[in-house]
Chains A and B, each alone.
Chain A
Amino acid sequence: MIKGVKNIFKDGVFQDNPVYRQILGICSALAVTNLLINSFAMSLGLIFVTSFSSLTVSLLRNYTPGHLRMMVQTLIISAYVIIVDIVLKAYFPAMSSALGPYVGLIITNCIIMGRCEAYAQKNKPLPSFLDGIASGIGYMLVLMSIALFREFLGFGTFFGIAVVGDWWTNWIFMIMPPGAFFMLGIILWLANTYIPAKDEKVGGAQ
C-alpha cells in the first residue's frame, strides 16, 4: 500500500508529470504564470478539483454506463469548479478578483479529465483521490517554476516582494504570453533531458 502511494506520487509529480510529460494543462500554464501568487492559487484550485473529481468518478465508476462516462465526468468536474469559484467569492474576495476568469477556466484543464479517464475510471476511490493530488502537485511544480522566473524577470519581485533595486529593468516580454512559451519550452527541454520517463532507467544505455 505504502509502495503504491509512493509510486502514484512519483508518477504524478515527476515521471509522468501532466505538464512536461503529458503536455496537458498548457493553456493555464501559459496564462496565469506571470505572478507566483496567481499560479499558487490556481494550482491549489486544480489540486482540489482534480482530487475530488477523481474520487467522485471512481465512486460512480461501477454505476456509470460506459458510453456516458465523459458526460458524467464533465458534470462532476464543472460542479467542483463552481464550488471553488463560489467559495473564493464568498470567503476570499481579494483572491477571487485577482484570479478573475481563470477560476472558471479550471474546467477546461485537460489534466482533470485526463486523470478521470485514464486513472479514476479504472481504480478504487482512495488511489484515485491520491492520484488527483499527485497530478495537481506535478502541475503546481511546473507552474511555480515558470512563474518564479517570469515574475522575477518581469517585475523584479517574488510573491510581490521586491528583491532587486531601482537599477533593475523589467522584462515586459516575460509578463506577456510569449515569455511563457519560452519558459515552458526550456522546462520541457530540461525535464525531458534530466528526468527519466517511466519506462527508461536512469542513465539507461542506448
Chain B
Amino acid sequence: MKKMRLKPILFMIAITVIFTGVLATINEITAEQVELNEQAAEQRSFLNVVDLDYENLTAEEVNQLYEETFTEITAGGHDLFEVHINGDLLGYVYPMVDSAVWGELRGIIGIHRDFEYLLGVEFLSHNETPGLGGRIEEDEFKDQFRELDISDVEGDNFVDYEGEIDAISGATGTSNAVRNIINNHLYEFFNEVKEELQ
C-alpha cells in the first residue's frame, strides 16, 4: 500500500488558511466603503434620472437630497418611487430589471406625473461589452430619453429607433434589448401600476 503523505496536505491547508485569512481581513476593512460607494452611485443615478444636479455635492449631501426627493411606495403589486421636488410631486421612478445580451440589466425610468412624457432613463448595472453595448450608460444615449413624449403611444411601442431615439451603432443586440426592457416595463407601469396611483 502506498504511504499516505501528510505533509503536502498540511502545507496546502496552512497556506489556504493564511491567504483566505488575509483576504477576509481586507474584505472586512473595506466592506463599509464598498457599500457606501455602491449606495452613492445608485443615489446619483436616481438624482440624474429626474435631472437634479449633484455635481458639487458630497456623498452625505447626495444622500440627504435623495432622502428628500424619493419615497418608496407600492402600487399594483410593484415597488416604485414617488419623486417630490420642494414638496411638489414631479413624477415617478419605476425600476426595471431583465436580461440584456450578456446578462442582467438593472435600471430606472422616470415618468412625469401627467404620464405624458418620460423624465429620463438610467442604468444601474449591466454586463454589456465596454465600448459597444456598454455605451448605453453614456449621456449621449441616455439624454435622448429626457422629455420623450409618450402621450399618443399605442400598445407597448414607447421606444423605437425610427424616430427621436438613435440606437448605438455596432451594438444592435444591446440596443434592441434595452428597447424591449423599457417598453415592457412602461407597458407594465401603464397597465398595472398607473390606476393605483393617486
Contact = CB atoms under 8 A, between A and B. Distances in A.
A90 B16 CA distance: 24
B30 A90 contact: yes
Interface residues of A, number: 31
Q: Is the interface of B mostly helix, strand, loop or mixed?
A: helix
Interface string A168-196: 00001001100000000000000000000
Nearest to B8: A65
B19 A75 contact: yes
6 contacts: A68-B11, A79-B19, A79-B22, A82-B23, A87-B30, A93-B37
A140 B12 CA distance: 33
Contacts of B16: 75
B132 A175 contact: yes
B11 A100 contact: no
Nearest to A34: B131
A161 to B, nearest CB: 16
Interface residues of B, number: 24
Interface in A90-110: 90-91, 93, 97-98, 100-101
Given A101-B127, A175-B132, A67 B8 contact: yes
- Residue of B8, B15, B26 with highest tally of chain A CB at under 10 A: B15
A22 B178 CA distance: 41
Interface in B5-26: 7-8, 11-12, 15-16, 19, 22-23, 26
A71 interface: yes
Given A68-B11, A75-B15, A172 B127 contact: no
Return the 4 tightest CB-CB contacts between A and B, nearest first: A90-B30, A93-B37, A90-B33, A79-B19
B11 A64 contact: yes
B37 A90 contact: yes
A142 interface: no
Interface of A: 32, 34-35, 38, 60, 63-65, 67-68, 71-72, 75-76, 79, 82-83, 86-87, 89-91, 93, 97-98, 100-101, 154, 172, 175-176
Interface in B147-171: 169-170
Nearest to A56: B19
Given A72-B15, A79-B19, A172-B169, 7 more contacts: A75-B19, A79-B22, A86-B34, A89-B30, A90-B37, A93-B38, A175-B131
A97 B130 CA distance: 10
Contacts of A101: 127
B26 A86 contact: yes
Contacts, number: 62
B127 to A, nearest CB: 7
B170 A176 contact: yes
B175 to A, nearest CB: 14
B106 to A, nearest CB: 13
B73 interface: no
Nearest to B16: A75
Contact of B19 (A64, A68, A76, A100): A76
Contacts of A86: 23, 26-27, 30, 34
A139 B27 CA distance: 29
B197 interface: no
B85 interface: no
B41 interface: yes
Contacts of B170: 172, 175-176
A206 B151 CA distance: 78
Nearest to A177: B129
Contacts of B19: 75-76, 79
A82 B30 CA distance: 12
A79 B23 CA distance: 7
Contacts of A60: 15
